[in-house]
Amino acid sequence: MRASHRNFVVIASAILFFGLFFAPQALRADASSAIQSAQHQINAGNYTGAISTLQAAVAASSSNADLYYWLCRTYYEMRDWNNAVEQGEKAVSLEPKNSLYHQWLGRSYGGEADRDRSFSDAKKVKSEFKLAVSLNPSNIAARRDLEEYCLDAPWIAGGSKDEALEQVTAIAAIDPIAGHLARALYDREGLKNPDDAENELRQVLAAKPKSPDPYFEVADFYRELNKPADMGTAIDAAAQVSPSDPRLAYFRGVAAVLANANLPDAERDLKSYLASTPDRSDWPAHAAAREWLGRLYEEQGKRADAAEQYREALQLEPKRKEAKTRLEKLEKSQ
């Protein structure tokens, strides 16, 4: 009996040791697998599915900060600001020195502040962006977020052209192409100097980036400047780099509507973009595509179709001023 008892103790101890040793590794592997699955779901626009995947993983591994970070990002895509903030705060509480976590918490505070028109939340946005930059000075996206905040916010909420310019200078030292884009934004929004902004855009095109993203940003700048021909140049350059990028359809459609040319092709492109892409924060919004379809139908004299698109745009984003103004004009004229 004593020998059997000793064998039982040895076996039990071994089971306990291996359980303690391998369990954390297994949990990390499970969390990593869940995050990969959730990323695929997010990229496909299946945000509710991603939430379910991540919540199930949290139930098994409640101390994994990355799970809360991805929950924050998913809720952000759903514009569920309260839950995005809650999950982002959990992520930074577990890993307070992670730049990316603070950046996305700042973005989530931004959504909440915009919804509630809250100065206190707005100040949290700037605080998180500054912390993200200090934790990782090479985080260009966080620097751009901080620049945009400093340009957009009133001084009472921390807006500052000088601080925005500091970010422009820092970005240019890290990545010249990103620096030109940051400077273009500063020139246009901070200095109200579109000519200098255009000069920065031309330097971006001359640098021939290997990613389509800078070309799309240039195209969007030219959209703001109402220059469809220059938009077309940037779009063609993006197509050379990434000919199958779904965003090409959106920008081609917008450029055609601005130029009031090839409207049937523009309609096809905008509808294709809506049908083939998820509504995601880092791509042109579906509400914007709806608004441009409305403008297209107005050009064609299809007033009822235009009004329908503006209503769809406002259902997605109730604060779209242009869509609201155009819809009100159509309704009054009827």
All domains of the chain in start order, with CATH: 65-136 (1.25.40.10)
Q: Above 60 in pLDDT, residue 175?
A: yes
Instruction: Confirm if 106 and 96 have CB atoms less than 8 A apart.
Output: no
Q: What predicted TM-score, i.e. pTM, was given to this entire model?
A: 0.88
**pLDDT, tens digit (0-9, with 9 covering 90-100), for 312-327:** 999 999 999 999 999 9
Model confidence at 57, pLDDT cuts 50, 70, 90, reads: very high
178-201 in b/e form (b: 16+ CB < 10 A) is: bbbbbbbbbbbbbeeebeebbebb
Task: Output the pLDDT for position 10.
Answer: 40
Q: Above 90 in pLDDT, residue 20?
A: no
Burial class (CB in 10 A: 0-12, 13-18, 19+), 91: buried
Segment 115-126 shows an average pLDDT of 88
User: How high does pLDDT run on average in the chain?
Assistant: 92
Task: Output the pLDDT for position 30.
Answer: 81
Task: Output the pLDDT for position 121.
Answer: 84
Burial class (CB in 10 A: 0-12, 13-18, 19+), 213: middle
Model confidence at 334, pLDDT cuts 50, 70, 90, reads: confident
Lowest mean pLDDT among 19-28, 55-64, 116-125, 181-190: 19-28
Segment 96-104 shows an average pLDDT of 98
Task: Output the pLDDT for position 120.
Answer: 81
**pLDDT, tens digit (0-9, with 9 covering 90-100), for 254-300:** 999 999 999 999 999 999 999 999 999 999 999 999 999 999 999 99
**pLDDT, tens digit (0-9, with 9 covering 90-100), for 132-161:** 999 999 999 999 999 999 999 999 999 999
Q: Above 80 in pLDDT, residue 85?
A: yes
Q: How far apart are the first and last CA of the chain?
A: 96
**158 dihedral zone (left: phi>0; alpha: psi -120 to 50; beta):** left
